Amino acid sequence: MNILDVVDLKKHYPIHAGLLRREIGRVRAVDGVSFHIAKGETLALVGESGCGKTTVSRCILRALAPTSGSMHFSLAEGQSVDLAALPKRALRPLRRHMQMIFQDPYSSLNPRMMVGDIIAEPLKVNGVPAAERNARVLELLELVQMPASARSRFPHAFSGGQRQRIGIARALALNPRLIVADEPVSALDVSVQAQIINLLLDLQDRLGLSMLFVAHDLSVVRHVSDRVAVMYVGRIVEIAPTDALYRSPRHPYTETLLAAVPAPDPTLRGRRMKATGEVADPSRPPPGCAFHPRCPYAVERCRVERPELTEIAPGRFTSCHRAGEIELAGVTG
Amino acid sequence: MRLTLMADQIALAVRDLAVHFEMEQGVVRALEGVSFDLRAGRTLGIVGESGCGKSVTARSILRILDRPGRVVGGSIVLDPGSSGSTDVLALDSNAERMRAIRGGRIGLIFQEPMTALSVHYTVGNQIIEAVRQHSDLSKQAARDRAIELLREVGIPRPELRVDAYPFQLSGGLRQRVGIAMALAGDPDILIADEPTTALDVTTQAQVLDLLRRLQAEKGIALMLITHDMGVIAEMCDDVAVMYLGRIVEYAPVETLFAAPRHPYTRALLRAVPTILAKPRQRLATIGGAVPHPGARPVGCPFHPRCSEVIEGRCTAAVPPPIPPGQAGASCFLEVPG
């Protein structure tokens, strides 16, 4: 069963200019994105800055109104709603089912609230009685491996990693059907990052979380995700099960991204492929395949015809005209 | 090969550098006796988590430490052993001589290039100013030099970009401009403080390649500060691992990754997420978090988080520092008890 089905999602920002503020163009931040998240699954959305990954996550949470497309969110077996079509008011009862884990554990917790109240806030808003709330807060603190005494302290008493645990406890308070985590470990030091990654893996196992994990760090993504969707200039260029994507990428951009990550092993030095050029401007994407100006495999067809995301093997989707004929290098341990 | 490289000239020798921050709550000992050498044509990586003192080290070398930070001990000697050797700590930080060293001998590349760039001037004007600060070139000649520098750092169409404002450039191009600025005074020592942390991964790869190429061409002594073990593995000859203001391990890069000696280095290497991970692979963790530098533990600063702590020794005394120029770990496991 799918928790979320996103079909042809678009978010365009008009560019206005001149005396009459006429629309002279559009920034196609998200330009026709389709994917699903199955129950109990973590889908990672990766790409470089400006690729639209955060815009997608904000559309799903309806912090942004999509320009077009549908986002079917399952509420129970056989029952789903299109998040894209609902008016803001109708979204409110659904919010408890979608929770967010934020990047910055410093700005995402109210410094004037005690930790117990921060975690209980979503319970309170959703009418859970006080007695139950207390029990649930203790349960949640234990779940994120924090002492019960944390309840009556303020966020400033805690380190970045502990604060991120508090943020995770708050996100889990209402047993949401979907968690959207936007760069949840990128602001943390290595030793603390490892603790949070392990915690997320534990929680996935224990609670069967369904998660959209937005990240730019391909190493972190390899540890925590079941499948990966790679975005480039507003579109998904490849979706595949995590291990398959890393071992044998099927889109040249995925290959470029993987090759660019410096591996923590000096004996592998200098084996990197050169990435040339820069990420295209989403207000003026190149014709054809948006990656063609940087692609070492581009042919004439790539310059004129935009490739569609196609299933080339079970569960493996890529949008590359040459997917069937080129051999791409992955990373293997 | 290592032997010939070891013979490379020492461009800068840092010895027993100690920096304190005098705060209302007490003295924070940001650096406690840091020693290392920067050699021509070689890259020293400085790696550690936040609060370890990486950036304070860089700022102390350039004498741009912000108050209330104060160097309280040690020396930072340019060209040690030569007739013209200079201890930059003996100079007034605003003196003409120090200003000539800053940029002219030692260039600095920041994490966020906008730290070094003004939004009000074109990149050309800023590089021209830096070039003229360190040479007698005419305005026109300095402009030509600025264009040449932009070309050198791989900026396409430099004769047009020279008149661009920083905000008109992408993050990657801006960092290239930051590198061009750092090179304007033709320094032989470069300090790069997290130069690629703010960049995307493909841009990072390009900037790292650029740094490596420039270093090879100019024989620059490069000090690369980073928290990223991948960048260390990719770029460095030698590595200093820092923890709470001390170098806890110093080693050639291959040795550090193949046979780390300090428990902190070992733990750190195991905790790094890797692109080579197996599905759902858990990481080894280090318990707790880096303590606030103002609440430094007694004894070895790492002992509360150390899995190999020796009660009575690590908890009582600070292990001896590593002699400069030698590989080793500052750890009681290394010292026969």
- Which tens digit of pLDDT belongs to each residue from A166-218? 999 999 999 999 999 999 998 888 888 999 999 999 999 999 999 999 999 99
> How far is B304 from B308, CA to CA, in rounded Å?
10
Q: Which of B243, B283, B305 to mutate to test the interface with A (most CBs of A within 10 A)?
A: B283
- Residue A136: φ, ψ to 5°: -65, -40
- Residue B57: φ, ψ to 5°: -60, -50
pLDDT at B183: 94
- Which tens digit of pLDDT belongs to each residue from B278-330? 889 999 988 888 888 778 899 999 999 999 999 999 999 999 999 998 999 99
Q: Which of B155, B200, B209, B248 to mutate to test the interface with A (most CBs of A within 10 A)?
A: B200
> How far is C-alpha B164 from the chain's CA centre?
29
Contacts of A291 in chain B (CB under 8 A): none
State whether B289 and A162 contact (CB < 8 Å): yes
- The predicted model gives A27-51 an average pLDDT of 94
pLDDT at B193: 94
Contact A260, A272 (CB under 8 A): yes
Angle (deg, nearest 10), helices A115-125 and A130-143? 120
Instruction: Decide the pairing of beta strands A42-46 and A227-232.
Output: parallel
Residue identified by tokens 């398959």 is A244
State the DSSP H helix or E strand holding residue A313, giving kind and residue range, or none if neither: strand A310-313
The verdict on B231 touching A (C-beta cutoff 8 Å) is yes
Angle (deg, nearest 10), helices A160-172 and A130-143? 130
The verdict on A91 touching B (C-beta cutoff 8 Å) is no
Contact B262, B251 (CB under 8 A): no
- Within-domain flag for A52: yes
Q: What is the ipTM of this complex?
A: 0.86
The verdict on A224 touching B (C-beta cutoff 8 Å) is yes
Nearest-CB residue to A266 (from B233, B283, B290): B233
- Within-domain flag for A149: no
Calculate how close chain B gets to A81, using CA atoms only, in Å: 31
State whether A198 and B275 contact (CB < 8 Å): no
Amino acid identity at A191: S
> How far is B43 from B47, CA to CA, in rounded Å?
13
pLDDT at B5: 44
- Within-domain flag for A191: yes
pLDDT at A268: 84
| Residue B168 CA: distances (Å) to CA of A28, B122, B164, B204 | 20, 10, 6, 19
- Within-domain flag for A62: yes
CATH of the domain at A194: 3.40.50.300
Calculate how close chain A gets to B259, using CA atoms only, in Å: 12
* Tokens, residue B317: 């005394």
| Four-residue CA torsion sign, A17, A22, A24, A25 | positive
Calculate how close chain A gets to B81, using CA atoms only, in Å: 32
Q: Where are the alpha helices (DSSP H) in chain B?
A: 2-6, 54-61, 96-104, 123-133, 139-152, 158-161, 171-183, 201-218, 229-235, 253-258, 263-271
State whether A194 and B280 contact (CB < 8 Å): no
Give the angle subtended at the CA of A143 by the CAs of A140 and A148, to the nearest 5°: 60
> How far is A277 from A293, CA to CA, in rounded Å?
8
State whether B283 and A198 contact (CB < 8 Å): yes
Chain A residue with minimum CA distance to B267: A191
Nearest-CB residue to B202 (from A48, A223, A264): A48
> How far is B332 from B312, CA to CA, in rounded Å?
11
Calculate how close chain A gets to B293, using CA atoms only, in Å: 13
Query: Whole-angstrom distance between the N-terminal and C-terminal Cα of chain B?
Result: 36
- Within-domain flag for A232: no
Contacts of B274 in chain A (CB under 8 A): 219, 222, 263-264, 333
Contacts of A252 in chain B (CB under 8 A): none
DSSP state of A52: S
- Within-domain flag for A47: yes
> How far is B263 from B248, CA to CA, in rounded Å?
9
State whether A262 and B289 contact (CB < 8 Å): no
What is the span of the domain harbouring residue A47? 2-106+177-225
pLDDT at A272: 64
| Number of separate domains in chain A | 1
Q: Is the pLDDT of residue A106 over 90?
A: no
Chain B residue with minimum CA distance to A255: B202
Contact B30, B98 (CB under 8 A): no
Contacts of B262 in chain A (CB under 8 A): none
Q: Give the number of C-alpha atoms closer than 13 A to the C-alpha of residue B57, restricted to the C-beta side.
A: 39
Nearest-CB residue to A263 (from B230, B254, B278): B230
pLDDT at B126: 94
The verdict on A246 touching B (C-beta cutoff 8 Å) is yes
Contacts of A266 in chain B (CB under 8 A): 233-234, 253-254, 257
- Residue A171: φ, ψ to 5°: -65, -30
Q: What percent of chain A has pLDDT over 70?
A: 98
In chain A, % helix, strand, coil (3-state, to 5) comes to 35, 25, 40
* E runs forming strands in A39-127: 42-46, 68-76, 79-82, 98-101
pLDDT at B1: 40
- Within-domain flag for A257: no
* Tokens, residue B55: 């950036």
Contacts of B289 in chain A (CB under 8 A): 159-162, 189, 191-192
* Tokens, residue B145: 């030099």
Chain B residue with minimum CA distance to A224: B280
- The ranges of chain B with pLDDT < 50 are 1-6
Write down all domains in chain B, each with its CATH number in brackets. 2-105+191-334 (3.40.50.300), 112-186 (no CATH)
Chain A residue with minimum CA distance to B230: A264
Q: Please, which residues 252-291 of chain B have a Cβ atom closer than 8 Å to chain A?
A: 253-254, 257, 267-269, 271-286, 289-290
- The predicted model gives A85-106 an average pLDDT of 91
Q: Please, which residues 248-287 of chain A have a Cβ atom closer than 8 Å to chain B?
A: 256-269, 272, 274-276, 278-279
Coil, strand, or helix at residue A26?
A: strand
Q: Please, which residues 154-183 of chain A have a Cβ atom closer than 8 Å to chain B?
A: 159-162
Size of the A and B interface in Cβ pairs below 8 Å? 153
Nearest-CB residue to B275 (from A193, A204, A258): A258
- Within-domain flag for A67: yes
- Which tens digit of pLDDT belongs to each residue from B33-75? 999 999 999 999 999 988 899 999 999 999 999 889 999 999 9
Nearest-CB residue to A269 (from B233, B271, B286): B233
> How far is B124 from B138, CA to CA, in rounded Å?
14
Nearest-CB residue to A263 (from B171, B276, B278): B276
State whether A189 and B289 contact (CB < 8 Å): yes
> How far is C-alpha A79 from the chain's CA centre?
24
Calculate how close chain A gets to B65, using CA atoms only, in Å: 23
